[in-house]
Amino acid sequence: MVRYHYALVDDLVSREEFDRLIEKKIADCGNLADETTAALLVVKDLGRSHVKIRGLRGKSSLFCFYAKIIAFSGVKEFDRSDGEKGLVARLTVADETGQVDLVFWDEQAAALEETFEIGDVVEIIGRHGKSIREILPLNLRKTCVDIDCVMEVKERKAPFRTDLHLLIISLAEVRPFTRRDGSGGEMVSGLAGDADGTARFICWEPALLSGISPGMAVLVTGALLKEGDYGGREIVCDEETIIVPAETAPDIPITPLASLVPDQSYTVRGTITRILPAKPFTKRDGTTSFVRNLRFSDGSADVPLVLWDADAKRTLFPGESILLYNAYAKKGRNGGTEVSLGKGGALFIIPDQEEPVTIEGWILHVPEGTILTSREGSWLVETRLPHGSHVRITGRASGKRVFCESEEEVKGDREGLKKEISDFIRSFS
């Protein structure tokens, strides 16, 4: 069972650290707690004893949550590809934040009719199935927990075409996909926002975004608006859609930190009050990523902030103002609310006392961050240009940063680059 408990928090700590925390918990309890009990207490300390259904989009391998059974599909028989018979059944369960389907196969499915009834509240340990809206239960038991939720199955709203005034917040790289008929195509995903908040943005025709970049406002005609998994919106653009630049940007609502409710996503703004170094960890696929803990305040509250992956490695300073789109609020380890920004969110640094600049220099990727260095000085920049690029950047200077509006590569000057690197290194000695 301990491996199940670790899977609830495997995006937070390594297995070695989890085992160490179990040993410490047993010792703290005077050796009166067994390994399973200690593991449960460690999971609780890490803020993952139970999540709400809205929180099932998190990063851990498994999830533990309470929910009320509101519908049962019945046990259905089907033919497998090898000719054998199989059984499948679904329980639709809900809490006050949403609903999800529990999918059971074969022996598990056959046992459902005699074990559970509509209205039962159950505790589930499970993992995602083929869809993010499905959970495959590994452990399921009745409880005495009371959950107040609607007992009717909520049907997803049908997608519809509409016109929208959007701010393009972020866009990923174009990536290929394979259609059901075997043909190939390309798509772009990202994040957009309007007066109703933020939404996942999907474009199946990348040519529609020619000349469009993050930070631009657009008018979209014929977008397909649909309900996303676990709520939220998805904006889908296809061959029936038209996208053109807009002169003004929509106002995206910003929520005060003191008003955050766990298990929901928000756009928030604040000033960094504390920052700790990024920590590496090993993901389930064996690759290394990073997590970073901060605190930030907007005057109404000072709350913990957790950054993941590329955002965790960005160079940030105490006192800088930041804007977070699609940040997820959840219950923290100490009982308060914390904010987490991961996949699907976006972080922007808000400049202060800007002045327009045009700087010609070299891009250096160093441990302190990405540097634009010239004979006049050095600034932090955010660019995808490779190390050693000779560039001319036009933008806005604010403190230690240059916020880039346009960039162009200049024919390289190797001797000049060597001198700039030498001068930059001497500036730290």
DSSP state letter for 189: E
Are 135 and 72 in contact by the 8 Å Cβ rule? The answer is no
Residue 198 three-state SS: strand
**How big is the CA angle at 307 (ends 304 and 311), to the nearest 5 degrees?**
145
3-state secondary structure of 22: helix
Q: How far is CA 314 from CA 45, 159, 236, 359, 391, in A?
A: 28, 37, 30, 22, 21
Residue 424 is predicted with a pLDDT of: 58
Read out DSSP for 287-348? -EEEEEEEEEE-SS-EEEEEEEHHHHTS---TT-EEEEEEEEEEE-TTSSEEEEE-TT-EEE
User: Which two structure tokens, joined as six digits, stand for 317?
Assistant: 């300073």
pLDDT in tens, the chain (429 residues): 576 678 777 777 888 888 899 999 899 888 877 887 888 788 877 766 677 887 776 656 678 888 999 998 888 888 887 778 888 999 999 888 888 889 999 888 888 877 888 889 988 888 887 766 788 888 888 888 788 887 777 776 788 999 999 999 999 999 998 877 778 899 999 999 999 999 999 999 999 999 999 999 999 999 999 877 556 789 999 999 999 999 999 999 999 999 998 878 899 999 999 999 998 877 666 778 888 999 999 999 999 999 998 899 898 999 999 999 999 888 877 778 999 987 789 999 998 888 999 999 999 988 778 899 888 888 999 888 888 889 999 989 988 899 988 888 887 555 655 666 666 566 655
Predicted structure pTM score: 0.69
**What phi and psi, each to the nearest 5 degrees, are found at residue 168?**
-80, 110
Count, residues in the chain: 429
pLDDT of residue 59: 59
CA–CA distance, 151 with 96 (Å, rounded to integer): 11
Between CA 103 and CA 59 the distance in angstroms is 20
DSSP structure class, residue 144: -
pLDDT of residue 253: 96
- Locate 31 and state its tokens: 């050796």
Residue 310 identity: A
Position 428 scores a pLDDT of 53
